[in-house]
Structure 1
Amino acid sequence: MTKVDGEPAYNPPIKLGSVRKQLQRVTNVDGLGKHEYTGFIDTLRALLNFYDETLARNQRMKNQLVKHRELFQQAKEDKKTLKVLYDFLQKLDSTPLRRGILLGYDNDEAHVSIYGSNEQLQVAINPSLNKDELVSGREVLLDPKTGALMRVYGYPETGMSARVKDVQGNRLMVSNFLGNGEQVVYYVGKSEAKVGDTILLDRTGIFATEVLPREDRKELYLEDVPNITWDSIGGLEKETEQLKELIELPYLYPDVYSEYNLTPTKGVLLHGPPGCGKTLCIKALVNELFSLRKDGRPPPVVVFFDEADSLFGVRGTGVHVEGGGGSTMSDTIVPQALAILDGVEELNRLYKNIEYTNGNNTRPFFYNVSGPEILSKWVGESEQMLRDIYSRAREKSNIVITILATNRPDRIDPAVLREGRIDKKVEIPRPNEDGARSIFSVYIPDGLPVAESELKLLGSNGHWHEYAVNHLVEHLFKDSEPLAIVEYRDGRKKELFHRDLISGSKIYSIVNRAKVYAIKRKIHGEEHGLRYDDFVRGINDSYSEEVDILLSGLPQKWSQILGKEGDLIVRITPTEKYSTSQRPSDRPYRRLSV
């Protein structure tokens, strides 16, 4: 027996042949001597011992084989790891792979032009490549040893974005968001780009590979028809009549205007204190205009710029453009707006020349544009937004009406407001007593629940309504309780009363507060219905918040609430009622440095 893994060779003490002979003798002989029997037993005992040792030896050999198998598997894994490390070391010692952008390919040539590493190269084509994949604008991989083109990828999915200014087939004139130049690029494939679109450029800046979505622009303006009616507005009868004369009549009677050679108004400025109904008037006007349109006549498009002073501010006074050589945002936006408005003037020259379409296929549009949100876009983006809005407007209708709204008309560039552009001005003032009474009547209709205790005193819902409206107006317009003392730059002092801050939105807020107080009372199991003192409480709470804003000391807040007059104020001191009810009397006030 041979030696295995250090195990010594083992020779059995008894040969199997002798054991077989002894078994035969035991089988054939009836009687055995003691000596022969004892010898046979010893032989069997030796065989059993040999068997046990053989089993143990086999188990040890099996364990050794299992261990060798594990070592063999580990060696195979180590071989793979060494192969990976070897390949990595080989790559470290190899020439880096080079990528580029395919510029052009001629089927008759064995070379292509690529752009890579800031240089243009002419490289050979690997014969195994599919020539149909050699399309301009795709990314390619070069062989590190020969420099030949070895692989073609798709179009890049990242890069700079740019705005399309002009389209000539697949050649596009674009300007980027930084506003620092224009260039001509080539659109790969069939061009779907239009003026105003945002496109994706590859890293070379030579090819446009994709038209990017435009959903972000929709968020900056509303394209819809409002459902506000003139009946929803109180206290502005004179002003609403002016708007109807300026915009509705030319649209409804174009032949008459043409007969008198009178050009319809194409732009209107609404100005006045905040919250007095400028936006409501425009929405009601648009709704009325669309509801009155004649059969077959395309509805107009109204472009309404809210807070227009932020977008069309006096040039040289706005936010400065980084790298713009001292220019401001207004310096770039206003000229673009003037060019657009002049184009609209030519478009709207005579309503009579409109080509009418089937009324069933037309839809009115109202663009409610937020000036500050457009202004917050990238440099160069705001101007493009204006072009895009008016481009969309012209697609909808040949009649484009521009309306601006602001509480600071003095901050709008004069060129925007000259004749032929935004040439009509309508002031929306704070409501007087009659106007406030009309607004209260709109927001406190007869059907509202009234507390039983007050109905017993006044007799009916109608009498309570009349009493509440008249006394609320009297409360707001009396001069017995000033809110604060206002100090001006020239040393003048003036008492600030409720009527100085009254507005349609303020009345709306007062009424809503009163309703909330009545609802809370109902929820807590108390008397159901409105009370007059609910409105008085609403007045006190609403004006306390307003005074608190004025006391912030921020001049822009004063201008937002008081209008142009806010620029002249240096200090506002509340009266005792409005300084002790919700604020400590020793609260410090900040004086502006003039």
Structure 2
Amino acid sequence: MSENAPIGTPQESVSAETHRDLQHKYDSTRRRLATLVEDNRKLRADLETASRNNRRMVDILNLTREEIADLKDSIADNAQPPFSFATVLGVHTAREHNPDLELPAVARPSADILYSGRKMRTHISPMLKAETVTAGSEVLLDEGLSIIGVLGTNPTGETGRVKELLDAERLLIVGRSDDEHVVKRAAELHDLRIRVGDAVLVDYRSGYATQMLDVSDVQDVMLEEIPDATFDDIGGLGEQIEQIRDSVELPFLYPQLYQEHHLEAPKGILLYGPPGTGKTLIAKAVAQSLTGRADGVDHSYFLNIKGPELLNKYVGETERHIRTIFSRAREMASDGYPVVIFFDEMESLFRTRGSGTSSDVETTIVPQLLAEIDGVESLQNVIVIGASNREDMIDPAILRPGRLDVKIRVDRPNAAGAKEILKIYLDTQVPIHPDEIVEHGRAQAAIDHMIDQAVEALYSRGEQNQFVEVTYQDGTTNVLYFADFVSGATISNIVDRTKRLAIKDYLEAHAHDVHSAKGVKSSHLLRAIHEEQAQQLDLPDTAAPQQWLRLAGHRGAQAVALRVLQKGQG
């Protein structure tokens, strides 16, 4: 073909056709490439989905494997036989065996146990420490009856009361129906102080006391304490304090002189008199005074018996409480410490037998007390002190010489005694109003003046202090004044009322003037006396005049009528 062939020749047609073929192939290739890219994207997505499914499948397989392992363990545990419970009676450590008497297995660590009512000796698992197995504790046994677990003591069971300490290991226990058992102390009780009357948890099958119990019984009626009251806290009773010191302190201060003269210390003291005169305070001061007075005595005990709570509706319980009280007192006194047993409101317990004024319970309670005081067991270093405001109701056998042989009447304070009591409650430590100090020069002089005013107001025999008029069986009459009914408790109440009035006046004045002064004034004390006297006007029992006068500590002819003199309010 000529080089100079014109356009549109067959050669040009071939080139165009080739171009179209190439273009078609290119387009086809691009479409296939796009399809491949899309397929690749789908494959990647499918791969990621498969990977996620695979990871999820792995997690499910792992969880399934764990569940299978747990199920396998559960099946293995369920196939195990149940553990048995037993109580340890004694523990035996490893030792050399005696070939003539026993096999080597007997000398290995072992324990005597109570299992299903049978006593047997079993081995302690070598995986346990033998010292963790203690007598009285509960243990677990495997199918071979070897000890594989220690549970400690059983927290439930029957209770018992300690009647006697036989030795360091054994106790005499009183259980139900007053039956007695000899038991051993569990390991937990070896270092605890157990006393007669204490409540313990007892496993009667194994014969062990396993736990001390804080059960309210004797502790409810007996307060064991060291009182902080001293004779210096008591005013107006100098003569009575001297009597009780001669009766109580001298035997402890000079025991050799008493022995040389074949003289025994008094077993008991009766403090009697009107209520509120300091009988209980004297008894507490006795226990405190014995501390440190005798050689080697640096401690004393004060057993405060709450009389009415000692009574029990069950036959024999009150007597048991009395035995326990004296047994505990002897236990404390055996160490050389003085012990004071204080029966407050003594007439509530030990009334005259056959008087008909109460139930017949005193017919056994009174002999029980007499047996404890006069019994075979000595009451060395033990002093019995009774307090009563109705000594005429106490059984005469208790008050005879050799029992409560020292009788001290604690009477109402006179004017001088009231002044002593006021000086105890009103001293320079109590805030005194500045006006009183300015008027009298110093605080002590102001206090002395207030006390003199108070005593004059309390003990004056003027018409304004008349209280009651008593008519006797013979027709005679007698007027009693407020001074005839003043007690130490009354004076204490007056002083407390005085202080409250002083505080109230200060708060009212301080609300209007922040610079107001505080302190007790004479007017506060006189006002308190007036209010105390006004309150006492409601106390006389006009329906039973003789009984009310007897309780108030007034003796005399038979009273048949009582009239409150309202003039006492003015």
TM-score with structure 1 length normalisation?
A: 0.61
CA spacing shift, 1:156–1:481, aligned 2, 3 Å: same
How far off its partner does 1:534 sit? 0.3
Given that 2:342 and 2:385 are in contact with CA atoms closer than 8 Å, whether structure 1 keeps it comes out as no
Partner of 1:320: 313
Distance 1:415 1:85 in 2: 82
SS at match of 1:299: coil
CA spacing shift, 1:69–1:421, aligned 2, 3 Å: farther
Letter aligned with residue 515 of structure 1: K
SS at match of 1:422: coil
1:149 aligns with 2:146: yes
CA spacing shift, 1:53–1:542, aligned 2, 3 Å: farther
Partner of 2:230: 228
Given that 1:518 and 1:529 are in contact with CA atoms closer than 8 Å, whether structure 2 keeps it comes out as yes
Letter aligned with residue 158 of structure 1: P
RMSD: 5.8
Identify unmatched segments of 5+ residues in structure 1: 1-31, 349-361, 376-385, 582-594
Distance 1:125 1:308 in 2: 53
Given that 2:140 and 2:151 are in contact with CA atoms closer than 8 Å, whether structure 1 keeps it comes out as no
Offset from partner CA, 1:28-87 (integer Å, 9 cap, x none) = xxxx83421441242133212222232123313422442454355346546755776787
For 1:166-205, list aligned pairs within 5 A.
166-168=165-167, 170-175=169-174, 180-187=178-185, 191-192=190-191, 196=195, 201-202=202-203, 204-205=205-206
Given that 1:224 and 1:365 are in contact with CA atoms closer than 8 Å, whether structure 2 keeps it comes out as no
CA spacing shift, 1:528–1:562, aligned 2, 3 Å: same
How far off its partner does 1:515 sit? 2.9
CA spacing shift, 1:57–1:419, aligned 2, 3 Å: farther
Distance 1:127 1:471 in 2: 86
Distance 1:320 1:519 in 2: 48
Identify unmatched segments of 5+ residues in structure 2: 1-17, 93-101, 349-368
Distance 2:118 2:565 in 1: 77
CA spacing shift, 1:563–1:33, aligned 2, 3 Å: farther
How far off its partner does 1:429 sit? 1.9
Distance 2:185 2:429 in 1: 64
CA spacing shift, 1:50–1:411, aligned 2, 3 Å: farther
Partner of 2:243: 242
Distance 2:488 2:470 in 1: 23
For 1:494-533, list aligned pairs within 5 A.
498-499=482-483, 501-522=485-506, 524=510, 525=513, 526=516, 528-533=518-523
Given that 1:159 and 1:200 are in contact with CA atoms closer than 8 Å, whether structure 2 keeps it comes out as yes
Distance 1:188 1:448 in 2: 56
Distance 2:567 2:35 in 1: 116
Letter aligned with residue 410 of structure 2: I
How far off its partner does 1:241 sit? 1.9
Distance 1:363 1:327 in 2: 31
Partner of 1:427: 409
SS at match of 1:538: helix
Letter aligned with residue 475 of structure 1: A
Distance 1:320 1:532 in 2: 53
Distance 2:326 2:124 in 1: 57
Partner of 1:73: 59
CA spacing shift, 1:474–1:255, aligned 2, 3 Å: same
Distance 2:249 2:241 in 1: 11
Partner of 2:41: 55
How far off its partner does 1:239 sit? 1.0
Distance 1:403 1:467 in 2: 38
For 1:386-405, list aligned pairs within 5 A.
399-405=381-387
How far off its partner does 1:253 sit? 4.2
1:39 aligns with 2:29: no
| Structure 2 residue corresponding to 1:475, chosen from 427, 450, 457 | 457
Distance 1:448 1:169 in 2: 54
Distance 1:578 1:74 in 2: 99
For 1:97-136, list aligned pairs within 5 A.
97-103=83-89, 108=103, 114-117=113-116, 119-120=117-118, 132=130
Distance 2:177 2:564 in 1: 48
Given that 2:170 and 2:182 are in contact with CA atoms closer than 8 Å, whether structure 1 keeps it comes out as yes
Distance 1:333 1:436 in 2: 39
Distance 1:453 1:148 in 2: 89
Given that 1:273 and 1:407 are in contact with CA atoms closer than 8 Å, whether structure 2 keeps it comes out as yes
CA spacing shift, 1:442–1:130, aligned 2, 3 Å: closer
SS at match of 2:528: helix
Given that 1:303 and 1:369 are in contact with CA atoms closer than 8 Å, whether structure 2 keeps it comes out as no
Distance 2:64 2:531 in 1: 81
CA spacing shift, 1:561–1:301, aligned 2, 3 Å: farther
Given that 1:271 and 1:425 are in contact with CA atoms closer than 8 Å, whether structure 2 keeps it comes out as yes
Offset from partner CA, 1:400-435 (integer Å, 9 cap, x none) = 444344445466666654433332121212223332
Given that 1:105 and 1:136 are in contact with CA atoms closer than 8 Å, whether structure 2 keeps it comes out as yes
SS at match of 1:153: strand
For 1:240-389, list aligned pairs within 5 A.
240-285=241-286, 290=291, 293=294, 297-299=295-297, 302-306=300-304, 309-310=307-308, 318-321=311-314, 326-329=315-318, 331-336=319-324
Letter aligned with residue 207 of structure 2: I
Offset from partner CA, 1:10-38 (integer Å, 9 cap, x none) = xxxxxxxxxxxxxxxxxxxxxx8342144
Given that 2:419 and 2:455 are in contact with CA atoms closer than 8 Å, whether structure 1 keeps it comes out as yes
Partner of 2:526: 536
CA spacing shift, 1:307–1:99, aligned 2, 3 Å: closer
CA spacing shift, 1:291–1:126, aligned 2, 3 Å: closer
SS at match of 2:499: helix
Equivalences, count: 486
Offset from partner CA, 1:108-151 (integer Å, 9 cap, x none) = 4789864345x2265876997779577654433344xx564362
How far off its partner does 1:206 sit? 1.7
Given that 2:433 and 2:518 are in contact with CA atoms closer than 8 Å, whether structure 1 keeps it comes out as yes
Distance 1:53 1:485 in 2: 127
SS at match of 2:244: helix
Offset from partner CA, 1:424-458 (integer Å, 9 cap, x none) = 12121222333223322443347866556567877
How far off its partner does 1:543 sit? 5.7
Partner of 1:10: none
Partner of 1:29: none
Distance 1:37 1:561 in 2: 138
Distance 1:74 1:486 in 2: 104
CA spacing shift, 1:304–1:139, aligned 2, 3 Å: closer
Distance 1:543 1:92 in 2: 84
SS at match of 2:165: strand
Distance 1:149 1:496 in 2: 86
CA spacing shift, 1:368–1:73, aligned 2, 3 Å: farther
Given that 2:471 and 2:478 are in contact with CA atoms closer than 8 Å, whether structure 1 keeps it comes out as yes
How far off its partner does 1:504 sit? 1.3
Given that 1:220 and 1:369 are in contact with CA atoms closer than 8 Å, whether structure 2 keeps it comes out as no
Letter aligned with residue 45 of structure 1: R
Distance 2:478 2:111 in 1: 81
Given that 1:142 and 1:150 are in contact with CA atoms closer than 8 Å, whether structure 2 keeps it comes out as yes
Partner of 2:138: 139
Distance 1:419 1:170 in 2: 42
Distance 2:49 2:549 in 1: 94
Given that 1:223 and 1:366 are in contact with CA atoms closer than 8 Å, whether structure 2 keeps it comes out as no
CA spacing shift, 1:58–1:459, aligned 2, 3 Å: closer
CA spacing shift, 1:548–1:100, aligned 2, 3 Å: farther
Given that 1:300 and 1:401 are in contact with CA atoms closer than 8 Å, whether structure 2 keeps it comes out as no
Given that 1:171 and 1:185 are in contact with CA atoms closer than 8 Å, whether structure 2 keeps it comes out as yes
How far off its partner does 1:170 sit? 3.4
